[in-house]
Amino acid sequence: MSLTYDVAIIGAGPAGYVAAIRCAQLGLKTVCVDEWLNHKGEPSLGGTCLNVGCIPSKALLESSHLYQQADINFEHHGISLSSLAINVGAMQDRKNQVVTDLTQGIESLFKANNVDLIHGRAKIITENTIKIVHRKTRKKIEKLTVDNIIIATGSSPVRMQQAMLADDFILDSAGALELTEVPERLGIIGAGAIGLELGSVWSRLGSQVVLFEAMQDFLPMVDAKLANLAKRQLKKQSLDIRLGSRLISAKVKNKKVHVVYEDKSGEKSEVLDKLVIAVGRKPNSDRVFGEELGIERDERRFVLVNDRCQTSVPHIFAIGDVVRGPMLAHKASEEGVMVAEHIAGNHAEVNYDVIPSVIYTHPEIAWVGKTEAECKAAGIRIQVGSFPFVASGRARAMAETEGLVRIITDAETDRVLGVHIFSAQASELIAQAVLMMEMQATAEDIALTMFAHPTLSEALHEAALSIHDRAIHIKN
């Protein structure tokens, strides 16, 4: 049996499901093929982000943050508790329910927008033909004839030969989200966004967390001042961050993980209850098409695309983690919308200069645009304004005074080039900065904007004012 469609999307993560919905909204006959199975072995839409990434990690971060607040900060607010305990099983049940609700929501959206859904593993046979097989039995399910194909197959965790995954002991990031009890000692290889977020969850619940980071610099992609503030604050939260620590081996012995690593002073060892590998992700581009199709990839196996996410084969597109750029759900979704519009004959583009990034520690780290170091390296003359949250009335009322806002502008045009925030709710505040930059705002534009009082957002206003020595609530 062969089915015919205007567009077939392979993958139902943030790139694929958004592309599918937008294609259908534009009047294109659309099918989405997805192979994901959840921990119960059941089909589950949403890809890595919804099933074992963005959403479940934020659910656990929220639960662990509330526990930590009750343990440390409630008394400061005049709230007394006779006892405090964490039920990890109930916490996991809540997290799983959040995921289930959202995956079912995508199914409902597919039905509402007339997107056909096929569960199975897709392989592109020709420019216009896709074969779908059952993921487990490999038996053929369908053959599709299509005018356009969108590859949205996402990414997978990078494995380490010196630390092979071992059930219940050496885990990837997905496994770290499924722990049913708090490990006494937890090691994490990699102190990037994933490692810091997972470390924060289990540290708040009482685990001794050690992060081994091979690089000498902490969060080198983040504004240097914010990175230093974050490192200091996270160490106060008992995260043991060891920079310049290269893993040599990790082996399970007597139900413990024995880690050998090397730093500038030589070879060292640690004994841990669990070890999480969080050293990045790689594109899922190996099984979706054969080399004979002519779709070009780079040396890291990313699918090569032009500025419209079109591959070297004209009617085949690729979006999200499987192509160049930051592996972020919102970037993937925007590419999905852009490609859908192009297929429908409309003009659309993604502004890759204003993609926000967030690390969901507490306080959160968020940024968009260029750092001060990047501007200087590019020879751009800049001005920098900043405002500390300790001077914010709302931050004081919330007892969330750690952090600051930094705004970087072009010294000649006053245009905003980058915004960097380390604070509570930085993930929400950064959206204002994205809008400012999308609208090509200047520091003067922000300074002339009225912000509600008292809000954390006022810190953006004051940082913009400080660029021209006009801040009210700090000394200029």
Identify the H or E element spanning 359: strand 357-359
Distance CA 426, CA 285 (A): 33
DSSP codes of every residue in 157-223:
EPP-TTS--BTTTEE-HHHHTS-SS--SEEEEE--SHHHHHHHHHHHHTT-EEEEEESSSSSSTTS-
453 catalytic? Reply is: yes
Question: Buried b / exposed e across 163-188, counting CB within 10 Å, b at 16+?
Answer: beeeeebbbbbbbbbebeebbebbbb
Determine if residue 206 is left, alpha or beta; phi over 0 gives left, psi from -120 to 50 gives alpha, anything else beta: left
Taking CA 438 as the corner, what is the angle to CA 314 and CA 326, rounded to the nearest 5 degrees? 55
Residue with tokens 């024995």: 258
Written as one string, the DSSP assignment of 31-47 is: EEEE--B-TTS-B--SH
Question: Which residue in 81, 12, 84 sits closest to 44, CA to CA?
Answer: 12
Cβ-contact 437, 377 below 8 angstroms: no
Candidate list 119, 134, 315, 453, residue with the active-site label? 453
What is the rounded CA–CA span in Å between residue 43 and residue 308? 30
Looking from the CA of 458 toward its CB, the CA atoms found within 13 Å total 17
Residue in 195, 212, 207, 202 with CA at minimum distance from that of residue 260: 212
Q: Find the distance separating the first CA and the last CA of the chain, reported in whole Å.
A: 72
Torsion angle, alpha carbons of 265, 268, 274, 279, to 10: 40
Pairing mode of beta strands 404-410, 2-10 = unpaired
Pairing label, strands 404-410, 170-171: unpaired
Dihedral angle, C-alpha 256, 194, 365, 18, nearest 10 °: -160
- Helices 88-112 and 14-25 cross at an angle (nearest 10°) of 30
Q: How far is CA 473 from CA 196, 392, 420, in A?
A: 32, 8, 19
Q: Which residues does the annotation mark as catalytic?
A: 453
